[in-house]
Amino acid sequence: MSADKLLDEVALRLACNEAFLAFKSLTPGSSNKDKADFIKKDEEPDGNVTDKTVPICLIYTRPGIRDRRSSQFYNSKLVIDCFAKDSSSARAMLMRALDLIHGWSPSGLASTACALAYETSFKTGIPGVKGHRAFFDCNYYVG
């Protein structure tokens, strides 16, 4: 029932998916360290994203708000950033993540399904790295 739990669930879902892991030439059988280096629960590109570490995916949360209908529910904002050497790979990676996350309900969170709020490409400011990003609304019980 927290941002931590949500990010864990999202990272797990992405890390168990063959097609998503294939972007980094990984498989579900690859080491946890390799998967953790590919799917990072961190918003900071500095130190994580360079032209050597791409393709890489950062997942994090942005400010949310208590729900007006029921204050025991929290409307959180999940963000997935996909970085790659070229924009079509970054976009393909993000589309794969979108297919996995949109309409999916994280377990153990008493939540409604994640819904895509906005997706866009963005300038990374890192030479040789292109970025594509999606925001998801995820509403879960906080008590």
Partner 1 sequence: MGIEFDLSFNGEAAFAVLETKYEEAVESLCDLILAHARVNLEGEYPEVEHSLRPAVVQLVNGVIGGTVAADHWKSYLAEWGSGSEMDISNDALAAYMASPYWNPDRVGMAITGRAAGPYLGLDGETHDKHTGALAGVNLEDLSRNDPHFQAWMESVGLPEDAFQPKRPLHFMKSAVLANEKLILDQLRAVVEVFQFGDFFM
Query: Do 39 and 32 meet the contact criterion of CB atoms below 8 Å apart?
Result: no
Specify the residue, 99 or 122, whose C-beta has the smaller distance to partner 1: 122
* Residue 105 beta carbon to partner 1: minimum distance, rounded to whole angstroms: 17
Residue 136: its H or E element:
strand 130-141
Residue tagged 């953790």 (tokens): 36
Strands of the sheet with 73-84, listed across from one edge: 39-40, 56-66, 73-84, 130-141, 115-122
Does position 87 interact with partner 1 (CB under 8 A)? The reply is: no
Measured from the CB atom, the residue of 24 and 132 that comes closer to partner 1 is: 132
Binding region for partner 1 (CB under 8 A) out of 7-15, 27-35, 61-69, 99-107: 61-69
Token duo for residue 117:
């709020």
Q: Which residues bind partner 1 (CB under 8 A)?
A: 62-65, 67-69, 75, 77, 115, 117-118, 120, 122-125, 135, 137
